[in-house]
Amino acid sequence: MYYDDDSVYENDDDFEKEEVQDQLLLPDDLESEMADLILDVRSVLQVSEGMARILLHKFKWNKNSLLDKFYESPDTEAFLVEAQVIPKTTQPSSTGEDDCDICCSFGELTGLACNHRACEDCWKHYLTEKIMEGGSSEIECMSPDCKLLIEDEKIKFYIRDKTILDKLQRLVINSFVETNPVLKWCPGQNCQKAVKVADPEPRLISCPCGTQFCFSCCQNWHAPADCALLKKWLKKCMDDSETCNWINANTKECPKCFVPIEKNGGCNHMRCTNKSCKFEFCWMCMGCWRSHGTAGYQCNRFNEGQDANRSKHRAYLNRYLFYYNRYITHQQSLALEEKLKETVAAKMAEMELKGMAWIEVQFLKKSIDALAKCRRTLMYTYVFAFYLKKSNHSEMFENNQRDLEMATEQLSGFLERDLENEDLVTLKQKVQDLTKYVDRRQEALLEHCADGNEQDLWEFTENGV
């Protein structure tokens, strides 16, 4: 099934009209596309269907790249050997009864073009295990030293269970999507659609299932942060190193056993909590407590390097938490505002009962959509800002960020009010005005960020420092 409607793609960030060429494909559509490519390759290379599929997989389903490489190769056989679809040396196929090298039982043995043989039960067990593992649709010969890939036709000769064959077909379709640079699965829960684009660049994709994602990285749409910034940010948020920074800023290590110790009283005479250590030291200078009251007393002497290092960690942690807390707050608000959809739907139904046409009440739905869109943008402005170096341009960005944040909170606050007693005409005008304003503020912010990218105005730090 093909979706050519403009509504599939939202113009959130300078998207061109040519994007209507992009398509959303169901599994049946993907199978049809694969079949067409396989047929084209078979007609030129004169190989089996299974060989054609394996070759296309190796070339990321780029038919032109495959055929170019084929025509460049002076030796067709060497080309197919390198692609692992025929063995290096073809041996006469040996059949008949013999001892199976796998299970040692005596019986009829069959094998591949490489002449590695086994009984039918061993082939079934091996292929079933490989398919159900779900790692790849490409399965090598079961002989440890043989890299020959098993054609689909041979797999179907041994495996007749529909459940297993269906799993194999899903693996094949999945490999078609995941190795093809112009295809990506929609990451929406239980969504089986894939998007096919004319140009595999980062862009917003809006699937009919309601999921909005970045084509390049398949994360939620994250403008103005690019994919590289988002990847670093998400890793940072999941990394335990931030917990280590907190420990470093709020605790000190025992000078003897290095166990972190938190000071919870006023006395600077500390005893290590590690039962196997119990070292007594001074919290201020970290020296042995026994030296206090002697000529070795050093608490009043400033150790610049040690104190500066601790202050640096604390300042860095505070900066990270500033941006992280705002990122998370907008993320939480986005989730909480999902409940508003029910309230708004009820209000829309009420307005229709009072005589307003369906089209006339859609302004409320548009306001909810605008609110969610701006929340997402605000989330990722804090990712962008965390890595952004200070400059005159960054100040302008922060002003745009502030204006969008204020407008978003104003719209959110109005929609969360009890709308029961609002005059419908006044309500419509107020909501439309607020919605138009947040749309303009979001557009201004994203345009400024896009212009900055084009003109190389932005400078980013490696780790947010």
Task: Please identify every residue annotated as catalytic.
Answer: 267
Give how far Cα 444 sits from Cα of 16, 226, 377, Å: 18, 17, 12
Task: Enumerate the β-bridge partners of residue 218.
Answer: none
| Helix (H) or strand (E) segment spanning residue 365 | helix 362-387
Q: Secondary structure of 179-221 in the HEC alphabet?
A: CCCCEEECCCCCCCCEEECCCCCCCEEECCCCCEEECCCCCEC
Between CA 397 and CA 314 the distance in angstroms is 26
Length of the chain: 465
Report residue 71 as tokens. Answer: 């025509």
Between CA 21 and CA 3 the distance in angstroms is 9
Helix/strand/coil percentages in the chain, nearest 5: 55, 10, 35
What is the residue-wise DSSP string for 19-86? GGG-EEE-HHHHHHHHHHHHHHHHHHH---HHHHHHHHHHTTT-HHHHHHHHHH-S-HHHHHHHTTSS
Q: Is 6 exposed, middle or buried (0-12, 13-18, 19+ CB in 10 A)?
A: exposed
Report residue 134 as tokens. Answer: 């779900």
Give how far Cα 254 sits from Cα of 4, 268, 284, Å: 66, 13, 12
The position carrying tokens 């749309």 is: 439
- Choose among 427, 428, 418, 412: nearest CA to 337: 412
Phi, psi of 107 (to 5 degrees): 170, -170
What is the residue-wise DSSP string for 224-274? TS-HHHHHHHHHHHH-THHHHHHHHHH-EE-TTT--EE---SS--EEE-S-
